Homo-oligomer: A and B are copies of this chain.
Amino acid sequence: MGHSRPVDQAGLRRGNLALLVHTLRERGALSRAQLAVRSGLSKATVSSLVTDLELRGLVHSAGVSAGGQGRPGQLVDLRPTSVCGIGLDIHVGHVGVVVTDLAGELIHTRRVACDVPGIGPERAIDQLAELAVTALREVAGTVGPPVGVTVSVPGLVDTAAGTVTLAPRLRWRDVAIADGLAARTGLPLDRIAVDNDANLGAMAELAAMNTGSVPVSDLVYLTGDFGIGGGVISGGRLVRGSIGFAGEIGHMAMDPLGPYCSCGRRGCWETQVGLGALLHACADTDDPVRDPTLDLDQRMRIVRARAARDDQRTLDALHQIGSALGVGVSILVNLLNPAVVVLGGYFAALPEWLVEPIRNQVVAGVLAPGAGGAKVVGSRLGFTAATTGGALAALRRVLDDPTVVPPMAQQDEEAPA
Residues of A in contact with B (beta carbons under 8 Å apart): 1-9, 11-12, 15-16, 18-19, 22, 26, 39-41, 156, 166, 210, 215-218, 230, 232, 234-237, 239-253, 256, 263, 265, 327, 330-332, 334-339, 364-369, 372-374
Contact = CB atoms under 8 A, between A and B. Distances in A.
Contact of A367 (B2, B248, B335, B338): B248
Number of copies: 2
A2 B236 contact: yes
A369 to B, nearest CB: 8
A7 B15 contact: yes
A217 B242 contact: yes
Contacts of A215: 1-2
Contact of A372 (B3, B6, B242): B242
A331 B252 contact: yes
Contacts of A4: 19, 39-40
A265 B256 CA distance: 20
Given A40-B6, A234-B234, A237-B235, A339 B242 contact: yes
7 contacts: A242-B338, A242-B372, A243-B368, A246-B336, A247-B337, A252-B331, A253-B330
Contacts of A368: 156, 243, 245, 248
A241 to B, nearest CB: 2
A104 to B, nearest CB: 13
A313 to B, nearest CB: 24
Contacts of A252: 330-331, 334-335
A337 B218 contact: no
A9 B11 CA distance: 11
Contacts of A22: 1, 3
A210 B335 contact: no
Contacts of A216: 242
Given A1-B217, A7-B12, A334 B239 contact: no
Contact of A335 (B18, B230, B339, B369): B230
A241 B12 contact: no
B241 A372 contact: yes
B241 A338 contact: yes
B245 A239 contact: no
Contacts of A234: 234, 237, 239-241, 246
Contacts of A373: 242-243
Nearest to A215: B1
Given A9-B9, A263-B367, A331-B331, A243 B3 contact: no
A338 B243 CA distance: 8
Contact of A337 (B2, B9, B41, B244): B244
A6 B16 contact: yes
A245 B331 contact: no
A366 B60 CA distance: 51
Given A252-B334, A332-B335, A334-B251, A2 B239 contact: no
A236 B1 contact: yes
Contact of A249 (B40, B242, B335, B374): B335
Given A7-B19, A19-B7, A40-B6, A243 B372 contact: yes
Contacts of A338: 241-242
Contacts of A265: 364-365
Q: Which 8 A-B pairs have the closest CB atoms?
A: A241-B337, A6-B40, A242-B339, A245-B337, A246-B337, A218-B242, A245-B372, A251-B367
Contacts of A210: 1
Contacts of A39: 4, 6
A327 to B, nearest CB: 6
